[in-house]
Amino acid sequence: EVQLVESGGGLVQAGGSTRLSCAASGFSVDDYTIGWFRQGPGKEREGVSCISSSYGRTWHTDSVKGRFTISSDNAKNTVYLQMNSLTPEDTAVYYCAAGDFYCSGYVDFVPYGMDYWGKGTLVTVSS
């Protein structure tokens, strides 16, 4: 059974850091591109970052570039999102997802292109 389970959400102070984890089962993260999406209150779900482990390719949306870093640990079959310098605008439910895409950015990193989704983890950034 394919499953993605996020963890690491919670309350973080502005300027702080946290790391989200996406543990995959039923498939290898080597065989899929893994992405992180987020959805804030009243906002559309947006792609934050993605990683294609087979190619070592990563992408981050402009609003988090330089602050967030996606990585994978194939031995643990887990993908991480390190989030630094958090702001209240980062408050959202963060979802990990897997799909067959190249991780080239907005052109192909879109919600409808994902095959599997986790249930999400809430990150709240306080002022």
pLDDT digits (tens, 9 = 90+) for 107-127: 888 899 899 999 999 999 999
Q: What is the pLDDT of residue 53?
A: 81
> For residue 4, how many other CB atoms are within 10 A of its CB?
25
Strand 121-126 to 10-13 pairing: parallel
- How far is residue 113's CA from residue 125's CA, in Å, rounded to a whole number? 28
Q: How confident is the model at residue 98 (pLDDT cuts 50, 70, 90)?
A: very high
* Arithmetic mean of pLDDT, 90-119: 92
- How far is residue 111's CA from residue 70's CA, in Å, rounded to a whole number? 18
Q: What is the pLDDT of residue 102?
A: 87
Q: Is the pLDDT of residue 40 over 80?
A: yes
